[in-house]
Amino acid sequence: MYAFLTGPMLWLSFAIFVIGCAWRVVNYVKGLSWQLDRVPYGCNKDLAVKGALRSIFHWLIPYASASWRQKPVFAAAFFLLHIGLVLVPIFLYAHVMVVAERFGVSWPTLPDGLADILTILAVAAGVFILLRRFGLSEVRIITTPHDLWIMAISLAPLVTGFVAAHQAGDNSGWLLAHIVTGEIWLIAIPFTKLSHVVLFFCSRAQIGVDFGVKRGGQRGRGIVW
Amino acid sequence: MPEGIFCNKKPINTEEDLKALLSDTRGTKYYEEMLSLEVDREKLWDTIQKTCKSRLRTWLDVCARCGLCADSCFLYLVNDCKPEQVPSYKIQSTLGEMVRRKGDVDNEFMRHAMEVAWSRCTCCNRCAMYCPHGIDIGIMMGYTRGLLYSQGFVPWELKIGAGMHRVYRAQMDVTTEDWVETCEWMAEEQQDDWPGLEIPVDKEDADIMYTCNAREPKHYPEDLAEAAILFHIAGENWTVPSEGWEQTSLSMFAGDWEACKLQVQNVYAAIDRLKPRRVIGTECGHAHRATVIEGPYWAGRPDGQPPAPYIHYVQWVAEALRTGKLKIDPAKRIRQPVTYQDSCNYIRNWGLAETAREILSYLVEPGYLIEMTPNKEHNYCCGGGGGFNGIGKFRPQRNKALLTKRDQILSTGAKLVIAPCHNCWDAIRDLEEEYHIGIDWSFLKPLLIKMVIIPDHLKPQDEEGDEA
């Protein structure tokens, strides 16, 4: 079981994740239309690239957009959750060791203590975002079961991984749970709203081009952060 | 009754149909018929499949339901933060549902969607700046309006408005003859004060072709006279086309894309015919949006550019002041608290925030300009944009929406609001009439005429050749 989950199943999960995400991006770009979107794709390339990059940058950097500054607590929760979900798994010592053993490549890792803190903060941020969904009427009204599911799918590998790493004695059960939930998470990404892993960049680049070329960029304005 | 006599899926294409619909006062019968208008579900789903592509689909699907759009929407804030006014909810419960149900929606759903599309969103696009994914609900609501229009679910005034464009290529029944006569009349009227002033019609190769809003020739032709006076003072070589002078597009508010195309093609044909060096539009936000910002795409121009450089009136004013073509008498500068209404259409959606400020630096004595909060690209809609001003059925909602602008103006303490946009100007006039806060409001043209230094050679001379 363990061999299957860390062997073929892991390969399959990564393959579905990578190919699925690539398919979402290709599909997105193919479906863009200058006439339907009323955006001059392919024109003013310098402004377009500048608009797209600025549009992404201002939302990836904490408090670099007016909206983040207006909602400082939610912004903090957002960044903590995403740091825990994206950076911690990639730079976790235990993960890098597995890769090093199998493929002989490695990269710098996070100190375990810091990884622990970031994981706890990410889970706490996820729980906060869930509670916020029910606490604020403007968020409650737009919340769907899908939004709850993807949060559960995303937090499960963090929680199981944390317990597996800290449980004394035999932890194979938690480790298995961690691997399974991690694989579910990877597989879910292309097929759910988690596809924002790539579509965030597509959508932000698109609106960046729209404002950066058509709606103000040619006059030195555009989205004002 | 699947299709009504007045309320149906057919656009208005003849003067006769237009007059018939106009005779149904306030659309009483029209809205009655709408109660039983059938939805062509197959056609609706077919249209959605053909036109709701990457950008819109992704926006609908990827929305994180985080609610950050709520506080960006003035209609949410002014309506006591009702959750039903959250932009994400407004689009997901209308367009989102249409897509999820594959067009299988009923009459009641469509009437509700109509109410949302035209009374809970002015397509100001402010939410686009506040969404982490860059989702622009205003754009999606515009698209939804198109679907609703194609099924006959559109407010009565906008069905008429779109019909006007189809029949007269103008938002009002102003014919080519009416227009040319108005130009002649206005030029004649000014001869005593402005000898030699002309409103040249159909002059080829002029430096400027001027386009306007049909309301100007129809209801306040003095606006046209003022434009002529300012071009005269500035020494511009300008013209107006006999056909293709109307820059606005109620069809854009209605979601009648075919009429949008017909309308803008008419203006572009005038540009092709007269070959002006550039085109200048009047002080109107949506006219600029329709003819300069969106128009090129409707007309099939992938680079998004009209056939000649096409600028907004504020750009011309800023340039004329900068280059000294218009000089302001320092003694006549505004010396009372004044504020500026940023129009969503050419400020947020076309980047003229600083151009407007440049004008103000010439017109207003330092210290008297008090900016609204928020302002420039982040400014709130006047409360009447996107067609909201003109829909009788939604007048109570519109009046409530005006409270945002009222309070923004009140907290500046300004006594005068400069509003170079017909929609904003109307909304501010209406809010003064409704709430009596003791303010004046103005376009740029009358202010400029009061303040500008008139070159000696343009002043009227008496018989001895002295200045009168």
Tens digit of each residue's pLDDT (9 = 90 or more) over B224-240: 999 999 999 999 999 99
Sort out which chain B residues have CB atoms less than 8 A from A189's CB and list them: none
The answer to whether the CB atoms of A66 and B378 lie below 8 A apart is yes
- Chain B CA closest to residue A60: B132
**B86 close to A (CB below 8 A):** yes
Q: What mean pLDDT is reported for chain B?
A: 97
In a domain? residue B400: yes
Taking an 8 Å cut-off on Cβ atoms, the answer to whether B133 and A200 are in contact is yes
Instruction: Assess if residue A114 is contained within a domain.
Output: no
**Does residue B54 belong to the interface with chain A, where contact is any CB pair within 8 Å?**
yes
| pLDDT at residue number B466 | 58
Are B99 and B227 members of one domain?
no
pLDDT band for B460, please (50, 70, 90 cuts).
confident
H or E segment and range at residue B43: helix B41-51
Distance CA B374, CA B381 (A): 11
User: Cβ atoms within 10 A of the Cβ of A15, count?
Assistant: 12
What letters, b where the CB count within 10 A reaches 16 and e where it falls short, cover B152-178?
A: bbbbbbbbbbbbbbbbbbbbbebebeb
- Report the alpha-carbon distance of residue B134 to residue B138 in Å, rounded: 12
CB contact under 8 A, A67 and B88: no
pLDDT at A170 > cutoff 80: no
Cβ atoms within 10 Å of B296's Cβ, excluding its own = 23
Q: Mutual orientation of helices B107-119 and B137-150 as an angle, nearest 10°?
A: 140
Question: Is residue B98 domain-shared with residue B205, that is, in the same domain?
Answer: no
Q: Which domain holds residue B246?
A: 169-311
pLDDT band at A36 (very low <50, low <70, confident <90, very high): very high
Mark yes or no for CB contact A31/B57 under 8 Å: yes
Indicate the helix (H) or strand (E) that contains B278: strand B278-281
Contact between residue B14 and residue B163 where contact means Cβ atoms under 8 Å apart: no
Q: How many domains does the structure of chain B reveal? A: 3
Sheet with B416-418, edge to edge strand ranges: B338-340, B416-418, B440-442
Give the orientation angle of helix B156-168 with respect to helix B257-274, to 10 degrees. Answer: 30
Select from B88, B350, B377 the Cβ nearest to the Cβ of A224. Answer: B377
From residue B391, alpha-carbon distances to B73, B146, B205, B384, B396 in Å are: 20, 17, 40, 10, 10
A137:B83 CB<8 A: yes
pLDDT for position A39 = 98
Under 8 Å between Cβ of B165 and B263: yes
Cβ atoms of residues B402 and B434 within 8 Å: yes
Residue of A nearest to B53 (CA): A31
**Last residue of some domain: B120, B154, B188?**
B154
B chain contacts of residue A145, beta-carbon cutoff 8 Å: none
**Residue recorded with tokens 């959605």:** B48
Cβ contact B94:B117 at 8 Å: yes
On whether the CB atoms of residues A69 and A59 are closer than 8 A, the answer is: no
Q: Flag if B350 and A224 touch (Cβ within 8 Å).
A: no
Residues 6 or more apart whose Cβ sits within 8 Å of residue B72: A67, B87, B126, B127, B129, B130, B131
Question: Measured between CB atoms, does A101 come within 8 Å of chain B?
Answer: no
Residue A61 lies in a domain: yes
Within-domain flag for A202: yes
Q: Do B346 and B379 belong to one domain?
A: yes
pLDDT given at position A172: 80
Mean pLDDT of B251-280: 98
Pair of tokens at residue A44 = 């003013």
Which of chain B's residues have a Cβ under 8 Å away from the Cβ of A219?
A: 350-352, 355
Q: Which residue of A has its CA nearest to B67?
A: A139
> pLDDT band at residue B1, thresholds of 50, 70 and 90?
low
Closest to B86 (Cβ–Cβ): which among A133, A138, A196? A138
- Please indicate whether, in this complex, the C-beta atoms of A219 and B84 are within 8 angstroms of each other: no
Q: Burial code of A61-73, b = ≥16 C-beta within 10 A, e = fewer?
A: eeeebbbbeebee
Mark yes or no for CB contact A32/B55 under 8 Å: yes
- Look up tokens 């509700």; give the residue: B112
Q: Across-strand partners of B419?
A: none
- When CB atoms are compared, the residue of B51, B131, B304 closest to A40 is B304
Q: How far is the C-alpha of B362 from the C-alpha of B283, rounded, in Å?
A: 18
A28–B302 C-beta distance less than 8 A? no
* B133 and B208 fall within a common domain: no
**Domain-embedded: residue B2:** no
**Do B285 and B340 fall into the same domain?**
no
Domain boundary among B250, B279, B311: B311
Chain B residues within an 8 Å CB radius of A50: none
- Residue B272 counted as domain residue: yes
The reply to whether B303 and B363 lie within a common domain is no
Residue A64, domain member (yes or no): yes
Select from A36, A200, A223 the Cβ nearest to the Cβ of B51.
A36
Q: Which of B246, B168, B167, B249 is nearest to B209 (CA)?
A: B246
What proportion of chain A, given as a percentage, has pLDDT over 70?
A: 98
B-contacting residues of A 119-178, CB under 8 Å? 133, 136-144, 147
pLDDT for B462 equals 67
Q: Which residues pair with B240 in a beta bridge?
A: B201
Q: Given A138, A142, A207, which is nearest B134 (Cβ)?
A: A207
* A167 confidence band (pLDDT: 50, 70, 90): confident
Q: What pLDDT does residue B461 have? A: 78
Backbone angles phi, psi at B416, to 5 degrees: -130, 135
Q: Which domain holds residue A50?
A: 2-87+122-157+166-219
Among A138, A146, A218, the strongest candidate for a mutation testing the B interface, having the largest count of B CBs within 10 A, is A138
Task: Answer whether residue A58 is part of any domain.
Answer: yes
Residue B348 has a pLDDT of 97
pLDDT for the residue numbered A211 = 98
pLDDT in tens, B57-77: 999 999 999 999 999 999 999
Q: Model pTM?
A: 0.96
Residue A112 lies in a domain: no
Same domain, B258 and B288: yes
Sequence-distant (6+) residues with CB within 8 A of B218 are: B172, B174, B178
Q: Give the pLDDT confidence score for residue A171 in this predicted structure.
A: 63
A220 in the Ramachandran plot: left (φ > 0), alpha (ψ -120 to 50) or beta?
left
Asked if pLDDT for residue B464 goes beyond 70, the answer is no
Residue B15 lies in a domain: no
Helix segments in chain A, DSSP class H: 2-6, 8-30, 34-37, 45-60, 66-70, 72-82, 88-91, 93-103, 112-135, 137-140, 145-166, 172-191, 196-209
Tokens 């950066």 map to which residue? A212
The nearest alpha carbon in chain B to A26 belongs to B54
pLDDT for A210: 98
Query: What is the domain-level CATH number for residue B99?
Result: 1.10.1060
Nearest CA to CA, how far is B229 from chain A (Å)?
Answer: 28
Q: Does A32 touch chain B (CB under 8 A)?
A: yes
Q: What is the pLDDT of residues A179-188, one digit of tens each?
A: 999 999 999 9
Which percentage of chain B shows pLDDT scores above 70? Answer: 98
Q: Chain A within 8 Å of B309 (Cβ-Cβ)? A: no
Buried b (16+ CB within 10 A) or exposed e, B432-449: beeeeeebebbbbbebbe
**Antiparallel, parallel or unpaired: β B416-418 and B338-340:** parallel
On whether both B185 and B133 belong to a single domain, the answer is no
Mean pLDDT of chain A: 96
Q: Tell me how close the Cα of B132 comes to any Cα of chain A, in angstroms.
A: 6
Note the pLDDT of residue A30.
97
Whether residue A107 is contained in a domain is answered as no
> Does the pLDDT at position B463 exceed 60?
no
Q: Which two tokens stand for residue B341?
A: 């209404």
For B296, the closest chain A residue by CA position comes to: A38
| Token pair recorded at residue B275 | 């070959």
Average pLDDT over residues B190-205: 96
Find out whether B439 and B414 touch, Cβ atoms under 8 Å. Answer: yes
Question: Domain count of chain A?
Answer: 1
* pLDDT single digits (tens) A101-138: 999 999 999 999 999 999 999 999 999 999 999 999 99
Buried b (16+ CB within 10 A) or exposed e, A206-218: bbbbbbbbbbbbb
Asked if A224 has any chain B CB less than 8 Å from its own CB, the reply is yes
CA of A222 to nearest chain B CA: how many angstroms apart? 6
Identify whether A152 is part of a domain. Answer: yes
B43 occurs within a structural domain: yes
Contact status of A218 with chain B (Cβ, < 8 Å) = yes
> Which CATH number characterizes residue A17's domain?
1.20.950
Q: Are residues B245 and B341 in the same domain?
A: no
Q: Are residues B128 and B254 in the same domain?
A: no
Residue A75 and residue B292: Cα distance in Å, rounded?
37
Clarify whether residues B173 and B307 are in a common domain: yes
Residue B467 confidence (pLDDT) above 70: no
Please give the Cα distance from A39 to B171 (Å, whole number): 26
Q: What mean pLDDT do residues B330-340 have?
A: 98
Q: How far is B461 from chain A (nearest CA, A)?
A: 43
H/E segment holding residue B168: helix B156-168
Contact status, residue B62 vs residue A200, Cβ threshold 8 Å: yes
> How far off is chain A from B57, nearest CA to CA, in Å?
9
SS3 B334: strand
Q: What is the pLDDT of residue B40?
A: 98
Percent of chain B with pLDDT over 90: 97
Site of tokens 């730079």: A91
Residue B152 has pLDDT above 60, yes or no: yes
Structural tokens at position B77: 């804030």
Query: Which residues in chain A are closer than 8 Å to B294, comparing Cβ atoms?
Result: 38
d(CA A53, CA A47): 10
For residues B452, B458, B464 and B468, what is the CA-based torsion angle, rounded to 10 degrees?
Answer: -30
| Contact criterion met (CB below 8 Å) for B33 and B39 | no
- Contact between B55 and A27 using a beta-carbon 8 Å cutoff: no
Q: For residues B343 and B366, give the distance between their C-alpha atoms in angstroms, rounded to a whole number.
A: 23
Q: What is the pLDDT of residues B72-114, one digit of tens each?
A: 999 999 999 999 999 999 999 999 999 999 999 999 999 999 9
Instruction: Specify whether B305 is located in the same domain as B193.
Output: yes
- DSSP lists the bridge partners of residue B168 as none
| Closest C-alpha among B220, B216, B287 to residue B251 | B287
